[in-house]
């Protein structure tokens, strides 16, 4: 029996995102064909500045999705007010935080495509409109 899906979502583990992300997944055409989910603090952050072991483990999980489930599209979802980034950086503005995270998402894309050139990589930015994550604006970058 074969079980495949077309998409892999790499998202931040922040619990505040859960309700709105589930709703967004259900309503978005971006996830047609099913999806795997990797949920880590800072989304793609550890692929950029994690230890070698962490990076290799991250890539191993992506590989399972690509090789076993024949994923064709990887969606990297980062968000504003991210605690994982706040632990390592002192941003002077929300714009500076977004700029740093977008830079990391681009680096993550390069790393992923070096190992899995056959996949498409898409960036999503989630702008929290309140501290509780009750409203999130999703933007394809």
The 10s digit of each residue's pLDDT in 18-54 is 999 999 999 999 899 999 999 999 998 999 988 899 9
CA-closest candidate to residue 102, choices 82, 116, 123? 123
Domains in the chain: boundaries? 7-140
What average pLDDT is seen over the chain? Answer: 93
Domain 7-140 has CATH 1.10.10.10: no
Give the span between the Cα atoms of 139 and 141, in whole angstroms: 6
Helix (H) or strand (E) holding 63: helix 52-69
Tokens of residue 21, six digits: 């992300």
């Amino acid at each position: 029996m074969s079980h495949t899906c077309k998409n892999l979502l790499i998202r931040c583990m922040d619990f505040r995102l859960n309700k709105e992300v589930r709703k967004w997944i259900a309503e978005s055409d971006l996830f047609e064909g099913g999806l795997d989910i990797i949920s880590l603090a800072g989304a793609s952050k550890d692929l950029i500045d994690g230890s070698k072991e962490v990076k290799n483990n991250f890539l191993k999980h992506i590989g399972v999705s690509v090789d076993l489930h024949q994923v064709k599209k990887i969606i990297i979802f980062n968000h504003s007010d991210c605690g994982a980034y706040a632990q390592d950086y002192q941003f002077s503005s929300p714009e500076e935080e977004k700029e740093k995270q977008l830079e990391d998402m681009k680096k993550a894309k390069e790393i992923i495509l070096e190992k899995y050139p056959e996949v498409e990589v898409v960036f999503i930015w989630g702008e929290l409109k309140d501290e509780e994550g009750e409203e999130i604006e999703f933007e394809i970058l």
